[in-house]
Structure 1
């Protein structure tokens, strides 16, 4: 159903029941487990029971030991897409023997999706980053000529704060992309490249772009508008809205501060549900996700409070 892009709300609801998911993770093969959570994520249906059942040591160990790179990549990608934290799985994946098999046997998309998921879930992945940071792996990603895979990979280094540490590989991927027709970039890829440039800038690494296309910037939310009115009402005025942390850099609008007292460098960020991961144990909002934490780190590096 997911492959055909046919929505299946009744089927999805029936699958994400405790007795069904328990049988799936107990009797199912790694590919069957991976395909199920991948389908849920592709159809954009939350699956809290399934996510909770998968992120258990006994299930994860079978997945990373017996599963193919595609199974591992699809599972962690699905968890990240659904914003379900997966600390046990992330830790198991970032082991030397697992990442070496992933970069040796996995396709560029599987490698890119795995590091993207780790960054989205805000899990440091030193072993995976080190394994990807090799000329052989980077050239494989470049040769495939899929911009989204390149965008996912360098964006992940940016979100994890690893641009300087992996500068040679990031520059190789970046420079190859900049030689292409940027009009062919999809909006998401273009956004990721711009964000990577800003993350790199905060680490002291300059990545040059020749893109003339502007990324679409979202409008302030109703919550943000209401908060601004309440602040003024209670005497906390003098702020500016939608402030770029990088003065004179138009791309900085992608990381604009919701409400800012510029003279004091005080930032007020209004985080909604999309900024947080759902706990694997409770299903409730827990830690900030990778992009949100990366923005917080960037603002701090620029002297914002």
Structure 2
């Protein structure tokens, strides 16, 4: 799907919306990059009428739109995907009044509820929000309007007890991005279930994270683990755990260190699943969010960590693995003007 030009041209020119969206969704779910696929989708599919391509007027299929929006957002190639997101917002959602009809027309609303799910509605809104830095600015106005209509439709038409963990968390995430951009979203959902999961942050600490945390402590970087980055006035938590948690944070200095494991990156399909170092869309979006909240953020990938460990193994330095990582972080933090404290005393 990514490297076969004949297959791509045939899919884009004669494939259905479901075939195209599900192919991209499958590649994204498996963690593969799809730059060539997205390029063909932008050029070929949108040369046709995007409304007729993504929507069959007689049989609206929101799941196709949701798979497309979520996959494109997760791919992180937002500029290249802009024509597709604009088509979703302008031609499909707003210009033709689809959501207006769904909200205002009981017959249409019933059909939409039967053929779609809350997951589809939130998925489209989430994808548009994640993939639009500066959604509050003038050029993002059409996407913002689409997101707000979708959000309103979801809150009005789906009872709170029908929301599951992922849908509720995606709603929190897109609302967080909107609020941080100064957008008044009005009333928020209340009385959430006690959710214990978060799409952005798996709260289980890995051995990789523990290793890095110990190394940071021993060079005098004082930090807490799994820190809630939002102002306390928002009071947004997911169960007993905190949504959007920063891996390691120094609250006083507003310094965040994010440890990015393999699932934060996409793989090149032509290089035997070799990670390219390109972060996923959700990873990029979280970085953007932390910066907007005033956190000075340092990202440390497992790829960087692997290179340091391999350098030690090859005899490139006379240090242990931990000492090499400590040297790396000492130099990196000091270059950024971060003053390190005294390491903890032992004994």
| Counterpart secondary structure, 1:269 | strand
- Is 1:154 matched with 2:134? no
Instruction: Give, in whole Å, the separation in 1 of the partners of 2:169 and 2:67.
Output: 17
Question: Could you state the TM-score of these two structures normalised by the residue count of structure 2?
Answer: 0.67
**Structure 1 consecutive aligned stretches of length 4 or more whose deviation exceeds 4 Å:** 139-142
Selected match of 2:291 from 293, 300, 305: 300
Instruction: Give, in whole Å, the separation in 2 of the partners of 1:192 and 1:97.
Output: 31
Instruction: Give, in whole Å, the separation in 1 of the partners of 2:84 and 2:53.
Output: 9
Distance 1:290 1:268, change over 3 A: same
Instruction: Give, in whole Å, the separation in 1 of the partners of 2:101 and 2:76.
Output: 25
Selected match of 2:182 from 204, 221, 229: 204
Give 1:141 deviation, angstroms. Answer: 7.4
- Is 1:119 matched with 2:69? no
What is the CA deviation profile of residues 250-290 of structure 1, one whole-angstrom value per residue up to 9, with x for unaligned ones? 33632111001222221100100110001132121121000
- The RMSD of aligned alpha carbons is 2.1
Alignment correspondent of 2:106: none
Give 1:206 deviation, angstroms. Answer: 3.4
- Is 1:128 matched with 2:52? no
| Residue pair 1:103, 1:137 contacting (<8 A) in 2 also | no
Question: Could you state the TM-score of these two structures normalised by the residue count of structure 1?
Answer: 0.76
Distance 1:157 1:272, change over 3 A: same
Aligned residues: 252
Instruction: Give, in whole Å, the separation in 2 of the partners of 1:74 and 1:266.
Output: 40
Structure 2 counterparts to residues 34-113 of structure 1, below 5 A: 54-95=2-43, 96-97=46-47, 99-105=50-56, 107-113=61-67
Give 1:219 deviation, angstroms. Answer: 3.1
Distance 1:137 1:278, change over 3 A: farther
Give 1:54 deviation, angstroms. Answer: 3.7
Bigger helix fraction: 1
